[in-house]
Structure 1
Amino acid sequence: MKISKRQLNELNSRFKDRHPEDVVLWTTQLERKAVVTTNFRPYEAAILHLVSQVRPEIPVLWCDTGYNTEHTYRHANEVHKLLNLNLYQYAPRQTVAWREVEMGIPGIDHPQHILFTEQVKLEPFRRAMAEHNPEIWFTNLRKGQTAHRDGLGIFSRSKDGILKVSPFFHWSDQDLDSYLSGYGLPNEARYWDPTKVLENRECGLHS
């Protein structure tokens, strides 16, 4: 959906101090095709719970790199069953075993790191978005995660012009701990992203 920078600024000002549920309720009233993405990292259960409670049928897109820990896969299964998610899982076209022979897990400065990131994260994500073709994308971006994300807001636009909605953008870890505890939701502390060296580094999906 087309939305101007001025409209984004107005929405971010209007909803800055509102509860995340108000953000989701207002957005769903637009009656546009929407998805929520996840990688089942820490605090993802919050956005999945919030959005699925308002819109149970919303497609949940999981781009699984294939390198998640056993704990993360168990966590994903638990949240999936607990929330009865309409889950779509997208994996790289190449197997981990094949990639181990071809390149392993290249470091950030290695010439094959860009190709690695393309294979395990960017291509599956583009495939997922192309298949569902959403106009609204719910995500769990939060201020303070990276320098790039600090310049965004609850509402922003993707590179393709999709309206990105991050209801918990201004919430702290402590706020989310209370949310998870209040709804009896599990958290994930052992998530690992093979495309990143540092937690505050972008992987390419949001930048």
Structure 2
Amino acid sequence: MIDLKQANQALETDLHHKDATQIVTWAQATFGPGLILSTSFGIQSAVMLHLVTQVVPQIPVVWVDTGYLPVETYQFAEALTQRLQLNLQVYQSPISPARMEALYGKLWASQEVEAFNKYDYMRKVEPMQRALRELGATAWLAGLRADQTDHRKTLDVVTQQGDIYKISPILNWHARDIYKYLQAYDLPYHPLFDKGYVSVGDWHSSRPLMAEDESDRDTRFRGMKQECGLHLPQTPGEAESLDSSYL
């Protein structure tokens, strides 16, 4: 496997001029069986699921199921899994929703960012870290876009998160690019898109877009944060990386 310096050299000399499919092809050639794809089965998830599986049909697709997703998300996930014949790998927290609520209460209802961070670590970050370890992942394809959050504006197509390389093939796409791709391949948006949702996660922390919202991510986490922690640096300073200073 190449090191990050080599990956960055490839990026500087080649990938900046490649389209999303070519970047996925490069990632497969570079990282081979260590390459995985993550999905949330969110509003626009069909784009990355289709784009990547056209190049790597049997790539492990990691879905972190928090146990609090809307009914529509579970139905959307089932439909896309069948249509695209996904090699779906579902990961969940070892702490059930009922047990978590009994021990810690409804963390998402708190007015403190720290409570949200604790929730996100238990239900999302830990299961994803476990998935990366168990699947032997060396590189992770993700559908991050620079126009989604302040943190994502700082990313490159190839970055490093802990010991894992992160590749974001559609980092520089905009909403119109997503729409064109979905139309071109007759792919669906998440069902809640028709109800005004532009981003969807857990049922208790997602809502439709409102006129005063400045970004899609304002509709998540009651506007208290933009990132759940999955795409923030996982380092010894992890607590700091999940802090609101990253929002």
Tell me if TM exceeds 0.5.
Answer: yes
- How far has the Cα of 1:17 moved from its partner? 4.3
Name the residue aligned to 1:22.
22
Is the 8 Å Cα contact of residues 12 and 154 (structure 1) preserved in structure 2? Answer: no
TM-score, with length taken from structure 2 = 0.76
* C-alpha separation in 2, matches of 1:199 and 1:47: 27
Corresponding residue for residue 110 of structure 2: 107
Q: Which amino acid aligns with 1:184?
A: D
Question: Does the 8 Å contact 1:68/1:192 carry over to 2?
Answer: yes
Of 141, 145, 156, which aligns to 2:144? 141
- Which is bigger in relative contact order (C-alpha 8 A, separation at least 6)? 1
Distance 1:31 1:92, change over 3 A: closer
Partner of 1:50: 51
More displaced stretch, 51-60 vs 11-20? 11-20
- Which residue number in structure 2 is paired with residue 87 of structure 1? 88
Q: CA deviation at 1:16?
A: 3.0
What RMSD, in angstroms, separates the aligned Cα atoms of the two structures?
A: 2.2
Residues 167/139 of structure 1: CA separation in 2 closer, same or farther (3 Å cut): same
2:227 alignment counterpart? 202
Report the CA distance between 1:196 and its aligned residue: 2.8
Offset of residue 18 of structure 1: 2.5
Do the aligned partners of 1:145 and 1:200 also contact (CA within 8 Å) in 2? Answer: no
Matches within 5 A, 1:51-66: 51-66=52-67
Q: CA deviation at 1:58?
A: 0.7
Q: Where does residue 165 of structure 1 map in the other structure?
A: 167
Q: Secondary structure at the match of 2:221?
A: coil
- 1:135-182 superposed Cα distances (whole Å, 9 cap, x missing partner): 111000111111111111211111x23221111111111111110111
How much has 1:83 moved relative to structure 2? 0.3
Unaligned runs of 5+ in 2: 206-219, 233-247
Task: Assess, with a 3 A threshold, how the Cα gap between structure 1 residues 48 and 124 changes in structure 2: closer, same or farther.
Answer: same
How far 1:99 sits from its partner (Å)? 2.7
1: CA distance, partners of 2:64 / 2:19: 28
Q: 1:59, 1:87 within 8 Å by CA — same for their partners in 2?
A: yes
TM-score, L = length of structure 1: 0.89
Distance 1:7 1:111, change over 3 A: closer
Q: Note if contact 1:16-1:170 (Cα within 8 Å) is conserved in structure 2.
A: no
Following superposition, the deviation at residue 59 of structure 1 comes to 0.3
Aligned residues: 205
Task: Give me the identity figure in percent.
Answer: 31
In the alignment, the residues of structure 2 paired with residue 187 and residue 24 of structure 1 have an alpha-carbon distance, to the nearest angstrom, of: 22
Post-superposition CA distance 1:23-76 (Å, at most 9, x none): 111221125311000111121111111111111111000001111101111111
Residue 222 of structure 2 aligns to a residue whose secondary structure is coil
Equivalent runs, 1:35-46 vs 2, <5 Å? 35-46=36-47
Task: State yes or no: 1:186 paired with 2:188.
Answer: yes
Q: Which runs of 5+ in 1 are unaligned?
A: none
How many Å separate the matches in 2 of 1:148 and 1:182? Answer: 30
Structure 1 stretch displaced more, 56-65 or 91-100: 91-100
- For 1:127, the equivalent position in structure 2 comes to 130
Q: What is the deviation of 1:197?
A: 3.1
